[in-house]
Structure formats: C-alpha cells, structure tokens
C-alpha cells in the first residue's frame, strides 16, 4: 500500500508531558512514546507528510517525519495548533490532566508544608479542543484511551464526550506502557473491533492502513 496517504498531512502527538513543580521536580507519567512514534513512522511510510509533536522520550526522531519537541500540555496544544491544517489528527500522547498552579522558581524544601496542599489547575484538553473546532477541523480526529478496566465502555463514552471520530483504546493494567507490544480496541461511530496483541509497529501499520481507507 505505498503512497496511499500521499498528499495528506497527518498530525500526531506522542509521549508524556511534564508539568513543573519546581526546577527539579515535575508531574508526568510512564508513557514511553513508542506507539505514537510508530504511528508517525507508519503514516510516513504510506506517503503522508507527518508532523509529530512529542513530549520528553528516549526515542530517536522517526525518519521522514517533522518532529517538534515540547514539555508541557500547553506547549503541546500550541505546537498542534501551529501545525494545522491537517487531514488527520491522532492524539496518542498521554497528556497530564493537571499542572501546578504556581511552579516555584526555586527548589522546594522537602517538607509537608510544601507538598501537602500543592494547588493544581486543569490543563487544556487537546483532543477535545481539536475535535470541536468550528473551522479547520481535521477530517479525521483519532484519540487514544489508556484504561485499566471497563475498556470498551469507557472508550465509547470518551469518544462521545470528546467529539472525536475514532478512539483507540488499550488496557494498560499490564506491561503495555513502555513495552514493545499492544492490544487495542478501535471504537468508531459504527461500532468497535478488537485487534490482537502485537508489536506496536504492527498496530501502527494497521491503523495507518485503516486511516488510508477511510479518507
């Protein structure tokens, strides 16, 4: 299926975000970025022009992909909006839901007073923001859902709540985060289908092929 995405711009987010508490501490998560990077590479292999907006990872930039490196959720949203317009937006990144309201410019001393009541504010919802754009919305918006239970029900509810077209859901209660393999459930407007556990690169290829057939 070479060049089946030729002429299309695919915008992908990947990895975690980091929300600073002070100059040495931050709020983040265990996302390795492997699945998002693999999806970016798979779309590029089908001829797409791919922009990858990536949080901090230990991965090399994929060949043939324009990679933009960011730290925070607000940085990621700004980079995504800067990269638009796009034909497809795939929100794979594990974005921090909350950030410290007032990051300290000095290292906080390790005492209960500093951390027992750390004020937090909500981060922008990148998937919902792009899904609900009035003008310039990508034709296909895909979100990811990392769940530990009730995967299908929560994925269906998330797709409706965010307003995206598809949700790719996975159960992260085992070794998926940071691992080389994944098993996912694809939820669309017409139903859902389970994809067997496989290398993340294979999952990425299946998703890229499905995207090409949908456009």
The arithmetic mean of pLDDT across residues 138-167, rounded, is 94
Instruction: Return the percentage of the chain with pLDDT > 70, whole number.
Output: 93
Task: Give me the pLDDT at residue 171, please.
Answer: 80
**Cβ atoms of 116 and 49 closer than 8 Å:** no
182 against 192, higher pLDDT: 192
Encode pLDDT of 22-62 as tens digits: 999 999 998 999 999 999 999 999 999 999 999 999 999 99
Residue 117's pLDDT is what? 75
pLDDT tens-digit map of 61-80: 999 999 999 999 999 999 99
Return the SS3 of 138.
Answer: coil
Write down the pTM of the prediction: 0.93
Top mean-pLDDT range of 1-15, 68-82, 139-153, 167-181: 68-82
Angle among Cα 192, 198, 202 to the nearest 5 degrees reads: 85
Which of these, 49, 83, 88, 46, lies nearest to 68 by C-alpha position? Answer: 83
What pLDDT is stored for residue 108 in this prediction?
A: 82
Q: Are 19 and 123 in contact (CB under 8 A)?
A: yes
For domain 9-214, give the CATH number.
Answer: 3.40.50.10300
Residue 34 phi, psi dihedral angles, 5° rounding: -60, -45
134 is a catalytic site residue = no
Residue 99's nearest CA partner among 130, 125, 72 is 72
Mean pLDDT, the chain, as a whole number?
92
Give which of 193, 115, 93 is closest to 151, Cα–Cα.
193
Domain boundaries, the chain: 9-214
| pLDDT surpasses 90 at 149 | no
Q: Residue 109's pLDDT is what?
A: 78
Q: Is the pLDDT of residue 114 over 70?
A: no
Q: Which of 29, 123, 134, 182 is catalytic?
A: 29
Residue 110: pLDDT band by 50, 70, 90 thresholds? Answer: confident
């Amino acid at each position: 299926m070479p060049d089946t995405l030729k002429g299309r711009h695919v915008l992908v987010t990947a990895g975690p975000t980091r929300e600073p508490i002070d100059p040495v501490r931050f709020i983040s998560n265990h996302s390795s970025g492997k699945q998002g990077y693999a999806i970016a590479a798979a779309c590029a292999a089908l001829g797409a022009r791919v922009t990858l907006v990536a949080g901090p990872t230990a991965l090399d930039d994929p060949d043939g992909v324009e990679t933009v490196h960011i730290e925070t959720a607000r940085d990621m949203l700004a980079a995504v909006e800067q990269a638009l317009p796009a034909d497809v937006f795939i929100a794979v990144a594990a974005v921090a839901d909350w950030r410290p309201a007032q990051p300290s410019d000095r290292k906080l001393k390790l005492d209960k007073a500093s951390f027992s009541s750390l004020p937090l504010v909500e981060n922008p919802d990148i998937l919902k923001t792009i899904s609900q754009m009035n003008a310039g919305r990508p034709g296909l918006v895909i979100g990811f859902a990392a769940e530990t239970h009730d995967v299908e029900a929560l994925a269906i509810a998330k797709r409706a709540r965010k307003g995206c077209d598809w949700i790719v859901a996975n159960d992260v209660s085992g070794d998926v985060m940071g691992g080389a393999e994944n098993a996912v459930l694809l939820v669309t407007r017409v139903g859902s289908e389970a994809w067997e556990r496989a290398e993340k690169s294979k999952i990425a290829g299946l998703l890229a092929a499905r995207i090409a057939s949908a456009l």
